[in-house]
Amino acid sequence: MSKRMTHQEICAEWESVSRAQNVNHQRGIKAAITQCRQFLTAIHQQADVEQARYRYLAQRLCDHFWSHNVAHRTDQTPGYPGHFGCRVRLRRRKLELSWYYNRFVQKKSGEGRSVFSEYIRKEGRFRYHKPAFTRAQDWEKPLIMETEDGFEMLRRLNANQAELCRIVRKSERLLKDLEEHLGGLKEAASGSASPSSEEG
């Protein structure tokens, strides 16, 4: 079984064959283009995995917030109950880290209360502005800010990853153009000198 080449060895191999005269460069071009395309495909696939990890990390922040919310569901807590909630969703490669405000309305039967959730729009690019939480109870505010700090980092990471995917799509189009360009090159007439043999 042959030993797997390290990435340094692969780089050295491409460097070595790039100026070699005794190799089939048409096959080399095909191999290079194929591997370039595989690289871009792998980035797309890993980006999906990375976003799933972001969703997992965001859920940990969300669960941390809700654990404190549950702990404060007692008449001994000033400002009971808490009205704010957060939610994490990943749909069609869109990661949503959102907040909402709950209103508790007494049921007509008098038994229990109905909960009506009001989605809070995010005004900033990467985080909610503080005025969005002015109605928060005193015990809620530090928890909201702590959670939102983590959400902001994840939103920035997710935005960076989205930009990376856009660059990959551009590279895929460029690679296709390059493949067509290389395929359209005409071989030099017999007897013409090779520039690579004249250069040092």
Reported as a single tens digit per residue, the pLDDT across 12-56 is 999 998 888 888 999 999 999 999 999 999 999 999 999 999 999
Break the chain into its structural domains and give their ranges.
Answer: 27-183
Q: What's phi and psi for 90, nearest 5 deg?
A: -130, 110
Q: Kindly provide the residue ranges of all beta strands, DSSP E only, lying in 48-121, ordered along the sequence.
A: 84-91, 94-106, 113-120
CB atoms within 10 A of CB 167: 12
Q: For the whole model, what pTM was predicted?
A: 0.82
Residue 2 has pLDDT above 80, yes or no: no
CB-based burial, 80-114: b 16+ in 10 Å, e otherwise: eebbbbbebebeeeebebebebeeeeeeeeeeeee
Residue 78 has pLDDT above 80, yes or no: no
Q: For residues 132 and 166, what is the distance between their CA atoms, to the nearest angstrom?
A: 32
Q: For residues 138 and 39, what is the distance between their CA atoms, to the nearest angstrom?
A: 51
Residue 141 has pLDDT above 90, yes or no: yes
Q: Is the peptide bond before 195 cis (omega within 30 degrees of 0)?
A: no
Q: For residues 116 and 104, what is the distance between their CA atoms, to the nearest angstrom?
A: 7
Residue 105 has pLDDT above 80, yes or no: no
Average pLDDT, the chain: 89
Find the mean pLDDT for residues 138-144. Answer: 94
Please give the structure tokens belonging to residue 102: 């709950």
Secondary structure percentages of the chain, helix, strand, coil, to 5: 55, 15, 30
Query: What is the band of 199 on the pLDDT scale with cuts at 50, 70, 90?
Result: low
